[in-house]
Amino acid sequence: MRFTTKLLPSLSGNIGVIQLNHPKALNALAMDMIDCFTDTLDQWYHPSNQQVRCILIKGVDREPDATPDKRKPVFCAGGDVKAMYESRKSQPGHHGQGQEGLATADFFRKEYNIDYRLATSKQIPQISIWNGVVMGGGAGISVHGKYRVATEHSLFAMPETALGLFPDVGSFYWMPRILKGGLPAYIALTGHRLKAEDLLYTGIATHYVQSQDLDNLERSLVDASMITDSALSDPYAAVLMKFHEIPPTDPRSSVLATHRPMIDEVFSIRDDKESKTMEDIMAKLQQLSDEKHDFASQTLGTLQKMSPTSLKITLEGLKRGAKVKTIGEDLQMEFRLSQACTRNEDSDFMEGVRAILVDKDRNPKWNPATLEEVTDEMVEAFFGPVEHEWVIPKPTDPVTSKL
């Protein structure tokens, strides 16, 4: 088994606990963490496993040695895209075609393997504790699980369009199935940051527990895991409901709930007789902005900062993801997109990472610079096959999608 101090797997009772332990990077998933994660799941999902009956995933605080009032909770801020940027700059090879041995392919391939296995294993329920930031890859290792616990510190977002990428890790599959109306497109395109009340309103989170109660919650879950009565194959729901509370801000008054009529009007794409384009969305926002709707003006301003290419492939990905039959099909599509985004050294992905994470000037120069310049043919090319495709992992236990 491959080990790293950045990820700490352990057993507590009959619960397999995975603690993300990379606080300097906000627990972002690095390659060594993914390798350790993979080997851990190999053991816990193996048919011979008789001990692990539940998987609990959590993160270490950003300042774990600080006093409780000064700690900064974090779950996982995503994947280490900066490392992929540096690899694309320095590692020779045929990037963008899924070639093994290249970080731009290996990272996505291995990450998606984990996401797929977590999403499809029905034998072992998964609980994720979203105490802090949950973004990108952090959503991939948690949102497909059965239970997602928000706290007062939760901050969930898929901000990839600002990086010249797209919401991946199965987002084109789970978003159209968990979220309704205009919410999938709104959240995916804008990268809007969701707090606990938004997560409960949308159903992305299944429970809310105050952070001060998390230790007691975990102890109670461990106790429940020791129950041997076969009639209680999943005793964790009752424990979670015992600790579940209504957050201080009522979900019915969350930002998304407050602006839901406008979000649905602008961003609903699934029920239209004629599928909406990004140009349609921007035009409607401009109209509402001219009518002095502040929310429309703010949303328009946000989208105008995003990569035009990312916006278009994200919208198309949502449409296609709503139609695929399985999470595996969706991840195959997303792997192709990931390779297209890393294929060229001057891609929007490379420029976005440079501007946001490397030089930090926060002034990316997108190419093409406007939506009108991103043609349908260019978008279609992102969805085309690659030489070395992502292959659905061989299951180690009966699998089914839970979404």
- Which are the catalytic amino acids? 79, 137, 160, 168
Q: Output the CA angle 79-364-95, nearest 5 degrees.
A: 50
Alpha-carbon distances of 115 from 11, 126, 205, 260, 277, rounded to whole Å: 21, 12, 17, 30, 29
Q: Output the CA angle 305-166-378, nearest 5 degrees.
A: 85
Q: Using DSSP, state whether 315 is helix, strand or coil.
A: helix
Contact call for residues 174 and 143 (beta carbons, < 8 A): yes
The position carrying tokens 């105008």 is 304
| Distance between CA atoms of residues 110 and 115, nearest Å | 9
Contact call for residues 214 and 261 (beta carbons, < 8 A): no
| Pairing label, strands 155-157, 133-135 | parallel
| Pairing label, strands 133-135, 15-20 | unpaired
CA-wise closest residue to 377 among 300, 309, 320: 309
Q: Which amino acid is at 379?
A: V
Contact call for residues 50 and 16 (beta carbons, < 8 A): no
Which H or E run includes 38?
Answer: helix 31-44
Which H or E run includes 149?
Answer: strand 147-150
Contact call for residues 78 and 349 (beta carbons, < 8 A): no
Contact call for residues 80 and 353 (beta carbons, < 8 A): no
Query: What are phi and psi for residue 397, nearest 5 degrees?
Result: -155, 165
